[in-house]
Structure 1
Amino acid sequence: MGSRLPSAATLVRFCQKLNRVKTLEDDLMETSLKRCLSTIDLTLLGVGGMVGSGLYVLTGTVAKEIAGPAVIISFLIAGVASLLAALCYAEFGARVPKTGSAYMFTYVSVGEIWAFLIGWNVILEYMIGGAAVARAWSGYLDSMFDHKIKNYTETHVGSWNVQFLAHYPDFLAAGILLVATAFISFGVRVSSWLNHIFAGISMGIILFILIFGFILAEPKNWGPENGGFAPFGFSGIMSGTATCFYAFVGFDVIAASSEEAKNPQKAVPIATAVSLGLATAAYFLVSTVLTLMVPWNTLVPDSALSDAFYRRGYSWAGFIVAAGSICAMNTVLLSNLFSLPRIVYAMAEDGLFFQFFSKVNPTTKVPLIGIIVFGILMALLALVFDLEALVQFLSIGTLLAYTFVAASIIVLRFQQDKMEFSQPTVHEASPIRHSGVPMKNENMSGEEMKEYESFSDKLQLVETDKKGQQRRETGHLKAAFEPYLRFLSDCYPGEVVTIAVVSLMVSSICFCCVLVFGSDHLHLPTWAFYLLLVIFLIVFLVSLFLIWAHEQQRKTTTFQVPLVPLIPALSILLNIYLMLKLNYMTWIRFSVWLALGKSILLSALCSNETGKDIVIPRNSVSSYNPRAQVPRDTRAESQSTALEGASVFKAGGKDRAQLWLALLPFPILHAQVWGA
């Protein structure tokens, strides 16, 4: 193609391809990975991902600086709020048992460019999360030995006085990451059993904290002489909730591991619910014990639990608690190192990352290259960087992933499930689409053509429920609302729902912007503040009603989120609110990370020269299977007939990379084109 810019028509058609969704294989259980994880394995992975450094560090910080003893209410509300997002992950993990978590869920329901955006941010989440926990692990161990490790390093290696870098190289943090990487490389069973050991020790020490802590509890520490139960009031409780919400980040490791689960349809929802319940109970009870043992205003934030036992005269108990914190952090390290290579593996398999990361070791059945490369990158981050400023990256990346998964649940629930219908036999030579609809063929006889059109019409109009009663197809307007919303009845199935989801997200952003910035930054008068809130709330509710007014999928074979679209919509609203509460520097760093992701993507596309022809019908939503192979003997035929109603593009290689380069600087314009 050289340096010539693509034509406008080519750009428009390519925008449609960027927004294509991924079509999965018929056999979703087929995988090159090893399916060996049970429900208990997944549950302990989820608990390990959530109950780590947050239990030993975040609890004391929120109690002393934000909420006081009312931190227990903050954790309870945060747990319920996290459940909204966790339910969405559970449904996707059961329906789409493929590795990739939020990346894969976005790809199969929203589109390619959004999938890469989410996948790239999930990579950042796991990398910085693992490095941050490794530094916390190192600091906790160093404090147990009176900071002798730090003093020795500064004396013999030296200290740094460079902004954003650590004060000294943390060899201990880098070393623990490299050791954990080695264990993860041995295979799923080894890493799973190692996680079992650390999670078991951690839960045993949590039980020790609860039993011994309640024995030492003094109710007067919640009394008025210490400021009462909620010294910071309702605002303190809600501010604490926003902070405590991040303690539950980590349940997505369960969905990320669904491709290695023995029975993901049952194991993923159960493990998600049980692990989130255990984590919420642990945070609630431990924060109760902590604030009853010592006055909340005397807590030491960095080591509140162990310090509380030291101050009550039980130094041996404090040492046990410190050891428990290290075991808990080990489970978080294993969780991050376990999930990250699998996200990269899924992206590489789809051609959106360097393809050598998609190779699976034939012996251990794990993506070994990804484990080693990203384990080393995590170790380098932990070695040289001061991660305090970078940790906020975790917030925005995680919340963005939660938002897209919730939106994807709504979109997918109101689209026709392509796996529902059996494939009818029309003619042996007639190709069959993945949805079960025979593809139109010029060689069909007149009778076969009538059968094709009849089957297509029936498929679009009605479907049969379990009781044998006919109801409108998924995505169509419900019959009860047709007399009142007749102008929507002729829309393509799912089209109104997709537009309503976009409207719901835009109104959520506007509502939260007014709520967060209306008084302090926008300087709105009181009447304008409330008027805008009411307007955007009405738009939100109308969008929610329009979604609900359409037929959705009713399946009993896999777990489904209850009260759709209400629960995903509330999750979207909450996530957007929390994202807008982050400071502007976080958004600037986030933009830099996205720019870096664009460069990485272009390099990956240029290196992946094994592109294939994809035929995209006009005036239709495109989907494709990036793993599908186009037979050589049909390639010429597809190219010769493409001009009659379709456009042919390269799915990979430098042509695709050049178009990405031309398109990516204008994401708002792309969204308009894609929606056309």
Structure 2
Amino acid sequence: MTKLAGIWRRKSVAQLQADAGQSSGLRRVLGLWQLAAIGIGGIIGVGIFVLAGQQAASNAGPAVALSFLLAGLGSACAALCYAEFAGMIPVSGSAYTYGYAVLGELVAWIIGWDLLLEYALVVAVVAIGWSGYVQVLLASAGVTLPVWAQHSMSDATMHYYLHQGLARIGLVHGVVPPPADGYRFNVIAAGVSIAVALLLSLKTEWGARFNTLVVVIKLAAVLAVVGVGVFYIHPANWHPFVPARIVGADGMGHFGWQGVLTGASVVFFAVFGYDTLTTAAEEARNPQRDLSLAVMLSLGVAMVLYIAVSLVLTGIAPYSQLGGDASVSDAFRSIGLGWLATAIAAAAVIGVTSVLFAFMLGAARIGFAMGRDGLLPAWFARVSPRFGTPVRPTLLLGGFTGLVAGLLPISEVAELVNIGTLSAFILVCAAVWLLRHRQPGLTRGFRVPAMALVAPLGIAFSMLLIAGLPRITFERFLIWMALGLLVYFGYGIRHSRLNPDQAT
């Protein structure tokens, strides 16, 4: 029982602030605009280049702009809570660290273990999508990869190899015929995952400068979409703005206000990413001031651009024609601006790399924080004396995400991405609200306005979206959590820095 009591150990805010004041080996080199670029890089990606058009075609029609607005309001509740914590506890680890301060060690472990998987899988999913854009550009230049190197395995192939492995150890029986498509490995997706890990292993400012440049290119492309597209808008394409509800024979439907809400649930996953910048708290020059500003700035910029692009896309082309994987390029090609469509596709390839950068940085910094606290081996918290970065966990993540992106189909990976981030949002909103009651006198660089309204809304919105996830997502999430609890009770609880039996 004494051992189990350790799960409620908390790091006080004073302890965390003291940790921030000590030298961790990480270098404080990031200013406000570099932090904001990490946040913007994490938010703006497939949401603009793919989801805006797809959700207009499949769920919301021209009212997809309202879907983004609703999703942004829900995400803003969590963003405000992140901003208050970031200004008060400028320590690496983001939601993991905030949970440690308020909800105890076990909850902190669950959040950290959760986000390690979620951030890594975001990298894998985006890398697979990025590979598709690259191959389109290569094909336009007459370059085609061998068939086996173009894509990850299909669902059928993955299940075949999984069955073969389980059969060898006697867990399943019977014979499953091999799929027709055979073994495949997405070389480009795996390669970009490893390349981003190598970049993040170098000096933080080098990676941050590269990321800022990529974000500038991406923003220029988005502004070109709006600046040029506004002259080709036909207001008739916006009528009706909310198309009539259509229900199919299977009972499923789209359009109408229900379609707008469905669209909001889908695009919600394109309006977070600002949380990744808070994982770099110990690399910020002035974290108490800049972290909270960067969180709000990155989400604000992203939301303005999402809504503007949604209105332009549905204004220049009928929403029914926007369902492709490259909907922005398709829209401009449909009005005779093929040169701009190609330029946008190229900018998307460049710009999406900033999403990889943001989420891999976030995962590596969470692993670093957990290693420093003793919940993972100290190996994770060792910083390269030459580069001032946690090289080992970064390269480990690069190898893991490279294998996942190279081998697994995007549908299998994407199903797991969302539940962990939403769980973290719930806990952050609850924790900042609880801490406001427990310690109202703490110095806060930023205070959430209308806390009694904002925090519950953030919790409710996240719970609503979790409830809509498929059952298989919960099953796989529970398997990952069970594995995490084995690691915690087998290692973390005994090696925690807060364990009184642990030598300091």
TM-score normalised per structure 2 = 0.88
- The match for 2:127 among 134, 140, 160 is 134
Aligned counterpart, 1:581: 468
Note if 1:15 corresponds to 2:4: yes
Match for 1:357 among 369, 374, 380? 380
Name the residue aligned to 2:29: 36
The farther-off stretch of 183-192 and 307-316 is 307-316
Shift of 1:382: 0.7
Q: Which residue of 1 aligns with 2:175?
A: none
Corresponding residue for 1:308?
Answer: 331
Q: Is the contact made by 2:127 and 2:193 (CA closer than 8 Å) also made in structure 1?
A: yes
Pick closer, same or farther for the CA change 1:359–1:71 going to 2, 3 Å. same
1:207 aligns with 2:207: no
The answer as to whether partners of 2:158 and 2:408 remain within 8 angstroms in 1 is no
Structure of higher CA gyration radius: 1
Q: How does 1:31-180 map to 2 (within 5 A)?
A: 31-32=23-24, 33-146=26-139, 152-154=146-148, 161-163=156-158, 168-180=184-196
Q: CA deviation at 1:334?
A: 0.7
**Shift of the alpha carbon at 1:155?**
8.4
- Equivalent position amino acid for 1:601 in 2: Y
Which of 193, 197, 202 is the equivalent residue of 1:186? 202
Q: Which runs of 5+ in 1 are unaligned?
A: 1-10, 417-551, 613-624, 627-647, 653-676
Task: Report deviation, 1:224.
Answer: 4.7
1:258 maps to 281
2:501 matches 1:650: yes
Q: Is 1:553 matched with 2:438?
A: no
The equivalent of 2:168 in structure 1 is none
CA distance in 1, matches of 2:427, 2:150: 48
SS of 1:182's partner is helix
| Contact 1:35–1:261, Cα closer than 8 Å, also in 2 | yes
CA gap 1:368/1:158 in 2 versus in 1, 3 angstroms: closer
Summarize the alignment of residues 474-493 of structure 1 with structure 2, pairs less than 5 Å apart.
none
Q: After superposition, give the CA deviation of every residue in 1:143-174 in whole Å (9 maximum; x if it has no partner).
A: 23348766523389997651358972100111
Match of 1:524 in 2: none
SS in 1 for 2:158: coil
Equivalences for residues 631-650 of structure 1 within 5 A: 650=501
**What code does the residue aligned with 1:162 have?**
T
Distance 1:185 1:117, change over 3 A: same
One-letter identity of the residue aligned with 1:154: W
Of 30-39 and 104-113, the range deviating more from structure 2 = 30-39
Structure number having the greater helix percentage: 2
Question: 2:16, 2:89 within 8 Å by CA — same for their partners in 1?
Answer: no
Q: In 2, are the aligned partners of 1:110 and 1:411 still within 8 Å (CA)?
A: no
Task: Tell me if structure 2 keeps the 8 A contact 1:91–1:560.
Answer: yes
What is the DSSP-based 3-state SS (H/G/I as helix, E as strand, rest coil) of the residue aligned with 1:37?
coil
Q: Map of 1:279-318 to 2, 5 A cutoff?
A: 279-318=302-341
Is the 8 Å Cα contact of residues 63 and 242 (structure 2) preserved in structure 1? no
Q: Determine what percentage of the aligned residue pairs are the same residue.
A: 31
Relative to structure 1, is the Cα distance of residues 320 and 560 closer, same or farther in structure 2, using a 3 angstrom cutoff? same
> Match for 1:376: what amino acid?
G
Q: Which residue of 2 aligns with 1:395?
A: 418
Aligned to 2:453: 566
2:93 is matched by which residue type in structure 1? G
CA distance in 1, matches of 2:386, 2:98: 29
Determine if contact 2:430/2:455 at 8 Å carries over to the other structure. Answer: yes
> Hey, what's the Cα distance between the residues in 2 that align with 1:570 and 1:62?
24
Alpha-carbon distance in structure 2 between the residues aligned to 1:150 and 1:118? 42
* Local SS of the residue matching 1:133: helix
Shift of 1:111: 0.4
Q: Which has the higher contact order (CA 8 A, sep 6+)?
A: 2
- Hey, what's the Cα distance between the residues in 2 that align with 1:112 and 1:313? 58
* Matched length: 470
Which residue of 487, 491, 494 maps to 1:600? 487
> Aligned with 1:390: secondary structure?
helix
In structure 2, the CA distance between the partners of 1:224 and 1:199, relative to structure 1 (3 Å rule), is closer
**For residues 189-588 of structure 1, what are the structure 2 equivalents within 5 Å?**
189-224=205-240, 227=243, 232-416=255-439, 552-553=440-441, 555=443, 558-588=445-475
Q: Distance in 2 between matches of 1:156 and 1:257?
A: 34
**2:87–2:289 contact (8 Å) kept in structure 1:** yes
- In structure 2, relative to structure 1, the CA distance for the partners of 1:272 and 1:168 (3 Å cut) is same
Partner secondary structure for residue 650 of structure 1: coil
Deviations 1:389-448 (A, max 9, x none): 2212221100000000111102211223xxxxxxxxxxxxxxxxxxxxxxxxxxxxxxxx
Change (3 A) 1:208 1:29: same
Query: Equivalents in 2 of 1:156, 1:335: separation in Å?
Result: 25
Cα distance change on mapping 1:25 and 1:200 into 2, 3 Å: closer
Give 1:25 shift. Answer: 5.1
Sort the Cα spacing of 1:149 and 1:397 in 2 relative to 1 into closer, same or farther, 3 A: farther
Separation in structure 1 between the aligned mates of residue 404 and residue 386 of structure 2, nearest angstrom: 30
Q: Measure, in 1, the Cα distance between the counterparts of 2:241 and 2:32.
A: 47
Q: CA deviation at 1:599?
A: 3.4
- Structure 1 residues 269 and 224, CA gap change in structure 2 (3 angstroms): closer
What are structure 2's unaligned runs of at least 5 residues?
162-181, 247-253
Q: CA RMSD in A?
A: 2.6
